[in-house]
Amino acid sequence: MSIDANGDVTIQGVSLRSLPKVSLHDHLDGAVRPATIIELADAIGLEVPESTPKALGAWFAKKSDSGSLVEYLKTFDLTTAVMQTEEGLTRVAREFVQDLAKDGVIYGEVRWAPEQHLAKGLTLEQTVEAVQQGIEEGEDAADRAGHSIRVGQLITAMRHTDRSREIAELAIDYRSRGAVGFDIAGPEDGFPASDHREAFDLLAENFFPVTVHAGEAAGLASIRSALLDGRALRLGHGVRIAEDLQVIQQEGDEVQVQFGDLARWVRDREIPLELSPSSNLQTGAIAAWGNTLADHPFDLLYQLGFAVTVNVDNRTMSATSLTRELSLLIEAFEYDLDDLETFQFNAAAAAFLPVEEREELVEMIAEGFDI
């Protein structure tokens, strides 16, 4: 098996890109086309570190691979800088959807933090509406191109600021106008979900779905807080739940593992893990297990029956796509089509959609994988 320049592989005679997929953990400001950054920056007189899309793409990859979180975060300063106008937000959202559709994604959730897009005077409401406009244009364009896709917004609050209650209200306000869920993002270590209890209480009182970044840059205490204080229905990455597993014995494929209470709860209650292989490697989230993709506890979690899903996190920074992430997992763990289908079923079941629509996704996946 080999991964082509587009991150695609042919598996059991079929192109992975063509198979129906669901993308749950995908940041808007982490998925801006380099060519678009250059054009939007030019229009607002902003300097960019490289002048061609190819060189700028390579700049993102270099910063993201540097092992320095400071360097990595600089890349977001650039993408958010070109997303401070309605035009910028709409275009980036439209292209986000079109790129997903081209990658075979049939349902996606886009997460982004409205509070980071107010520098040029937009209101929170204007930012949400501009993104929604782009999503709808993207869905229409994808339809015309023969790839049907639907995308919902995950309205995100930053965990190191104090606007989460206001952002939760915003999310609830846009419930039937594009918003399907709520998330908190930003520095995890030192900023637990419990800091945002008021926002989470409001969301819970309104039965509004929540996912929380947890178990990425911090460990079990953060996951515990996401579940208890955040009442998270999914965990953003959640990869460090594996710290609560003690491998007692490993013989060939047979692994004997002792579960902590938290890991047992997450596994038995099937709380979906939004795992993001490349990103988890680049941000050091899996450093305790090793420094290659084959060291990722993804396979251990999958074999133990956790509800694993495969995600991109930040497509531009990691120069990746959902197809490429799946390809990398096949390379690392020799998965076959049945495994890949299971990951898509898990993601469809975890989508913040009414049950009838989740069932429709499941049917589309089953049909697409029936080859």
Closest distance between Zn ion and the C-beta of residue 185, in Å? 6
Cα–Cα distances in Å, from 23 out to 153, 171, 305, 345?
Answer: 12, 20, 20, 11
Residue 216 is a catalytic residue? yes
CA angle 134, 136, 137 (to 5 degrees): 65
Tell me whether residue 216 or residue 341 sits nearer to Zn ion (CB atom): 216
Closest distance between Zn ion and the C-beta of residue 323, in Å? 19
Tell me whether residue 9 or residue 275 sits nearer to Zn ion (CB atom): 275
Tell me whether residue 28 or residue 168 sits nearer to Zn ion (CB atom): 28
Tell me whether residue 78 or residue 275 sits nearer to Zn ion (CB atom): 275
- DSSP lists the bridge partners of residue 11 as 14
Number of residues that bind Zn ion (CB under 5 A): 1
Residue whose token pair is 């709860």:
265
Closest distance between Zn ion and the C-beta of residue 164, in Å? 16
Distance CA 321, CA 8 (A): 9
Positions in 277-336 near Zn ion (CB under 5 A): 313
Tell me whether residue 109 or residue 129 sits nearer to Zn ion (CB atom): 109
Q: Using CB positions, name the residue nearest to Zn ion.
A: 313
Catalytic residue, candidates 216, 274, 325, 341: 216
**Positive/negative CA dihedral, 98, 99, 104, 105:** negative
Strands in the chain per DSSP E? 10-11, 14-15, 21-27, 105-112, 150-158, 179-185, 211-214, 234-237, 245-251, 254-259, 273-275, 308-310
Q: Residues of 8-28 as b/e, b for ≥16 C-beta within 10 angstroms? A: bbebeeeebbebbbbbbbbbb
Closest distance between Zn ion and the C-beta of residue 336, in Å? 28
Positions in 111-170 near Zn ion (CB under 5 A): none
Closest distance between Zn ion and the C-beta of residue 314, in Å? 7
Question: What is the set of active-site residues?
Answer: 216
Positions in the binding site for Zn ion (CB under 5 A): 313
